[in-house]
Amino acid sequence: MDPDTVLTDAALDEFLGGQALDATTLLPDAWTDLRPARQYALDVVLDRFKRMSPPVLETDIVDPTELADAVQLGAAMRLYRLAMTTGDRDEIFADSYHEYKELFELAIEALSPTLASGEVASTIMTIELGRR
């Protein structure tokens, strides 16, 4: 699945207040756009779907934009993770990284996209079972 069909660089940059495409703030030196961050987040989301029972494949998902919120949070998490390891404001970036990491996990668990079969995939949330 192409990350451009889920979330654009412009939408991600707007979500992050215009600082994502600013080469002095979040964008790693080797990157020219935000596609690697968006691809990373999309891969994580799709991997989680593959591990569901029954598995949900990317071809089963009818509307990729239903994944946009989770991919947006995951891409932000990725950008802050990379920024905190290379920048001089690592404490600020670390706080943002941890915040986005938690939000990304919650967004993945809450996903329930419409499938090609017409059904809605149940959420990925799991229930802990205790021994009696």
Helices (H), 35-67: 35-50
The pLDDT > 70 percentage for the chain reads: 86
CA angle, residues 99, 105, 108, in degrees to nearest 5: 135
- With a threshold of 0.75, does the pTM exceed it? yes
Q: Confidence band (pLDDT; 50, 70, 90) for 130?
A: low
More confident residue, 35 or 86: 35
What pLDDT, on a 0 to 100 scale, did the predictor assign at position 86?
76
What pLDDT, on a 0 to 100 scale, did the predictor assign at position 129?
53
State the average pLDDT over residues 51-56.
82
CB 46 within 8 A of CB 6: no
State the average pLDDT over residues 110-125.
72
Distance, C-alpha 126 to centroid of its chain = 19
